Amino acid sequence: MQAIAPIFYGACTFERVREQFGEERRYLIVCDSNTRNFCLPLFRGGATELPPVFETEAGEDFKSLATCEKLWTFALQQGFDRDSVWINLGGGMVSDLGGFAAACYKRGVAFVNVPTTLLACVDATVGAKTGVNLLSEKNMIGSFRAPEAIFMDTRYLESLPREEWLSGMAEVLKHGLIADAAYWEDCLAAKLSTLEMVRRSIDIKSAVVAADPLENGPRKILNFGHTVGHALEAAFVRAGTHVTHGACVAAGMWMESLAAEAFAGLSAAEGEAIRAGLSALFPALPVEQLSVAEVRSLMAGDKKNRGGEIRMSLPDRIGHCLFDIAVPAGALEEWLPIYTDTCQK
Ligand SMILES: NC(=O)c1ccc[n+]([C@@H]2O[C@H](COP(=O)([O-])OP(=O)(O)OC[C@H]3O[C@@H](n4cnc5c(N)ncnc54)[C@H](O)[C@@H]3O)[C@@H](O)[C@H]2O)c1
């Protein structure tokens, strides 16, 4: 399976995509309400006419089979055939949804991603995972399917709200923590341009994915912060509290750094440095609103667990990460109060 798509850096408008894939192909643009407003005008470029645009409402609730069905119906009614190219213009929600819908439509049509969030640039569009949520469980229905290309144009990020920017920064910092200590330091010191961060993060993620496309082993290191992070995210969704994916991953890395000290040999000094770096950037999440038992049970349902044991990906030093480390679920009861006491001061 091809897991890494070609990445084209630089200005990307519809003309650029059509130049790449041919005048004769039919194109369909998938976007959400925000990317239609903020990104489609730039994507139009000098084109007098755009191809048909499918717009979904924005947000995780719409990353669903119901939206896929609307998209498939739209594509069928517009007469799209198997030779068509679908263009996902948006963040990770649009690329996951549009990629999955394209992978299933007529048993698979080509799609490309034009990421418009930092999170999508450095994470969601790289690595061939597509999918939708089911019954408020994240990414339960999906497939491994790589786009034909990713067009990386950081001008699209200029309209991104601060909290969505930070959401992507959590993944950027994670890349440094699991694979490149100097990168972690440079990001904390805000030494890099957006484009430099995107390139370095993509290089790290691509190398990890290329070594293990289907996540049987080393790719799991990308999940640092995600066992706790996903559980927090799901619990906040159930509680009706809006939080971003990255904010939960940042809180997850904060707490999992304590696990890394206890179970992966991370030094106390580096554990402290990780937590200080994260706290400097990310406001504390209101975890006291959540039931510890619920977060614990959500962690127990994590896809990475084996034989009823919680397995985490944890750094043994900054810039290097281990995976499949068994961690007792009860440890969460210690970390949550430490997080609340330290971060909410
Ligand atoms: N496939 C993968 O490997 C992978 C990896 C990580 C995350 N994901 C998925 O990605 C999603 C999260 O991605 P995300 O953070 O990009 O979320 P998102 O796509 O929902 O975007 C966040 C918000 O920003 C808005 N937005 C997007 N681009 C904008 C722009 N340029 N200007 C203004 N507003 C803009 C969106 O409409 C939305 O309201 C989740 O569904 C997650 O499961 C997938």
Question: Tell me: the pLDDT tens digits for 169-187?
Answer: 999 999 999 999 999 999 9
Query: What's the N-to-C CA distance of the chain in angstroms?
Result: 48
**Residue to mutate (ligand 1; options 119, 165, 171, 243; most atoms within 8 A of CB):** 119
24 confidence band (pLDDT: 50, 70, 90): very high
What residue owns the CA closest to ligand 1's atom 30? 160
Which of 112, 135, 159 is the C-terminal boundary of a domain? 159
Q: Which of 29-43, 76-90, 131-145 has the lowest mean pLDDT?
A: 131-145
Atom of ligand 1 minimally distant from the CA of 38:
32
3 confidence band (pLDDT: 50, 70, 90): low
Q: Which of 21-30, 207-216, 294-303 has the lowest mean pLDDT?
A: 294-303
Which of 134, 159, 184 is the C-terminal boundary of a domain? 159
**Residue to mutate (ligand 1; options 40, 93, 169; most atoms within 8 A of CB):** 93
Give the pLDDT mean for 207-225.
Answer: 92
Please check whether residues 88 and 171 belong to one and the same domain: no
Please check whether residues 130 and 256 belong to one and the same domain: no
Q: Which residues line ligand 1 (CB under 6 A)?
A: 32, 34-35, 38-39, 58-60, 63, 90-94, 96, 116-117, 119-120, 123-124, 127, 129, 138-139, 156-157, 159-160, 164, 167, 245
Please check whether residues 34 and 132 belong to one and the same domain: yes
Please check whether residues 168 and 147 belong to one and the same domain: no
Question: What residue numbers bound the domain in which 276 lies?
Answer: 163-343
Q: Is residue 2 part of a domain?
A: no
Most confident of 76-85, 211-220, 305-314: 76-85
Atom of ligand 1 minimally distant from the CA of 120:
16
Please check whether residues 80 and 199 belong to one and the same domain: no
Task: Say yes or no to pLDDT of 4 above 70.
Answer: yes
Query: Which CATH number characterizes residue 281's domain?
Result: 1.20.1090.10
pTM for the whole thing? 0.94
- What total number of domains does the chain contain? 2
Sheet holding 85-90, edge to edge: 7-9, 149-152, 110-115, 85-90, 27-32, 53-56
Query: Which CATH number characterizes residue 135's domain?
Result: 3.40.50.1970
Give every CB contact of residue 192 below 8 A, 6+ residues apart in sequence: 186, 200
DSSP 8-state assignment for residue 224: T
Please check whether residues 152 and 269 belong to one and the same domain: no
Give the pLDDT mean for 88-111.
Answer: 97
Q: Which of 45-49, 93-97, 106-110, 252-256 has the lowest mean pLDDT?
A: 45-49
pLDDT tens digits, 52-76? 999 999 998 999 999 999 999 999 9
Please check whether residues 54 and 114 belong to one and the same domain: yes
Please check whether residues 36 and 136 belong to one and the same domain: yes
CA of 94 to the centre of ligand 1 (A): 7
Instruction: Say which residue the tokens 């990421």 belong to.
Output: 115
> Which pLDDT score, from 0 to 100, does residue 223 have?
95
Which of 124, 140, 159 is the C-terminal boundary of a domain? 159
Please check whether residues 64 and 145 belong to one and the same domain: yes
Please check whether residues 124 and 190 belong to one and the same domain: no
Assigned token pair, 176 = 């440094």
**10: region left, alpha or beta (phi > 0 left; psi from -120 to 50 alpha):** left
> Which pLDDT score, from 0 to 100, does residue 334 have?
87
Please check whether residues 206 and 252 belong to one and the same domain: yes
**Residue to mutate (ligand 1; options 43, 63, 96; most atoms within 8 A of CB):** 96
What residue owns the CA closest to ligand 1's atom 8? 124
Distance CA 338, CA 115 (A): 36
